[in-house]
Structure 1
Amino acid sequence: MADASAPEKTIPTNLRLLMVLEEIAAAGVPVTPTAVNESLGLPKATVHRLFHRLEQEGFLQRDIDGRSYSAGLRLRKISINVLSSSRVRTVRLAVLNALTADIGETCNIATPERDGMVYLDRVETKWPLRIQLPIGTTVPFHCTASGKMYLSTLAPRMLSKYLAAAIMDVHTARTLTRPEDIHREIETTRNNGYATDDEEFMDGMVAIAVPIMDDLGRLMSTLSVHAPTQRISMDDLKGHLGRLMKAASDLSEMALR
């Protein structure tokens, strides 16, 4: 444990809130003030006061155990706005445009939110027949390729808790809703390194997704391609996995520069 008095002299007051948020973001899972303070070394009362203020202002939210905290709505909005900045987005769209031109179908980037995956960016196919899922659309975790890709990165205990509590709506005749069936699907996704949606979210649409990772090897967002079954099959989509993986790697490097 660090000397509690040292950080009082070395961490300026106006940096403490930012450093707490930095530790929360780096953890990637709900953490307690005590755990965060192992790195910061602030007086116990100080760190609890900072957490309380951040929770009041919506930057943090208390986890179900009542002791841990994770990113609140305002902090999540900051992360999305940073990823959507013009400089980052210009390069990201260049990669998406090249990928869409190569594959010939709509390509998307989505990020996980609390209630599902949110489309951050997309480049539409030039085909007149296309599936409309505009930027900002939220889609479910359990029956979309991007959502299943995200669920596959959860720790087994957290995945089990999610499947036990979540409401899995039926969207098509192929939608999996039983926790044990979805669990098997997520295990397959984890083993394969990619996720599929075989008309599970929308009739007549297939999709495939791969992860875009951060510098700690965690899922930051997903890269996916979807298309109508009238034009492409799931096997055809899988034939583009190499292109998707390469583009996802490029996007990961760009986001971290």
Structure 2
Amino acid sequence: MDDIGGREKAIPTNLRLLLLLEEIARVGAPMTPTAANEVLGLPKPTVHRLFHRLEQEGFLQRDIDGRSYSAGQRLRKLSVNVLSSSRVRTVRLAVLNALTEDIGETCNVAMPDRDGMVYLDRVETKWPLRIQLPVGTTVPFHCTASGKMYLSTLPSRMLGKYLSSAALEPQTARTLTDPDALRHAIEDVRTLEYSTDDEEFMEGMVAIAVPIWDDQQRLMSTLSIHAPTQRVTIGDLEAHLDRLRTAAGDLSEIVLR
């Protein structure tokens, strides 16, 4: 009893939920209470009670195996709100404005969510001909530059499960709807470390995306350029890769410093 009581007191009550959420976010994959407790060192009943409470409140959700947990809707919204805070967003928009000014085309930051990539920020080109995809728009994983960039960072087993179960619905005649063809495209993205969308999501639009990494070299979000084909080609966008990667590094530092 003394040992249990000592461990209970080692972490203040008002910090336990926060430390648990921090550990789940750090791991970035579904986590069991047992695995979490290897770090926290609390009694098993306490850890299971914390997981249960967080699941009830929507901060965690149980994974398909029934034993592990991952970020729930409220925790995902919390992360988006943190990244959208006025301090972070002001500097992020400054980076995006400078990038858009240099390149002359619309640039945006997107984050992965359950059903696709969500636009977190964007700066529009000054050209009158532009693609309207406002902040908050959700776009598919399988046919967008940002989505394919995200898919390329999934472990092979998880990517395989996605390809075998996702509805790869055609958006244009160029959308990759065959799982094997999409897998090959994702493997190319892993090699190149950037992704393209050659009118796969929207006719008349091309795009290119690079990753924005967190402090553990996991994809946190993506940085993309998209433009109408009347004005540019994929090759034109690829010519801006160095500038795009530099901006992605700056955006990563904004969040992590």
Give the TM-score of the pair, scaled to structure 1. Answer: 0.98
What corresponds to 1:241 in structure 2?
241
**In 1, distance between residues paired with 2:104 and 2:144?**
20
Could you tell me which runs of 5 or more consecutive residues in structure 1 were left unpaired when the two chains were aligned: none
Deviation at 1:146, TM superposition (A): 0.1
Match runs of 1:27-176 below 5 Å: 27-176=27-176
Letter in 1 for 2:210: V
**In 2, distance between residues paired with 1:124 and 1:7?**
53
Deviation at 1:6, TM superposition (A): 4.1
Deviation at 1:7, TM superposition (A): 3.1
Q: Is the 8 A contact 1:106 1:124 kept in 2?
A: yes
Deviation at 1:9, TM superposition (A): 1.8
What corresponds to 1:12 in structure 2?
12
Letter in 1 for 2:87: R
User: How big is each residue's C-alpha offset from its partner over 1:161-197, in whole Å with a ceiling of 9 and x where there is no partner?
Assistant: 0111111110000000111011000000000000000
After superposing on structure 2, the runs of 4+ consecutive aligned residues of structure 1 that deviate more than 6 Å are: none
User: How big is each residue's C-alpha offset from its partner over 1:91-121, in whole Å with a ceiling of 9 and x where there is no partner?
Assistant: 0000000000000000000000000000000
Give the TM-score of the pair, scaled to structure 2. Answer: 0.98
**In 2, distance between residues paired with 1:13 and 1:242?**
48
What corresponds to 1:215 in structure 2?
215
**In 2, distance between residues paired with 1:249 and 1:14?**
35
**In 2, distance between residues paired with 1:191 and 1:108?**
23
**In 2, distance between residues paired with 1:34 and 1:97?**
46
Identity over aligned pairs, percent: 76
Could you tell me which runs of 5 or more consecutive residues in structure 2 were left unpaired when the two chains were aligned: none
User: How big is each residue's C-alpha offset from its partner over 1:36-84, in whole Å with a ceiling of 9 and x where there is no partner?
Assistant: 0000011001100100010000000001111110000000000000000
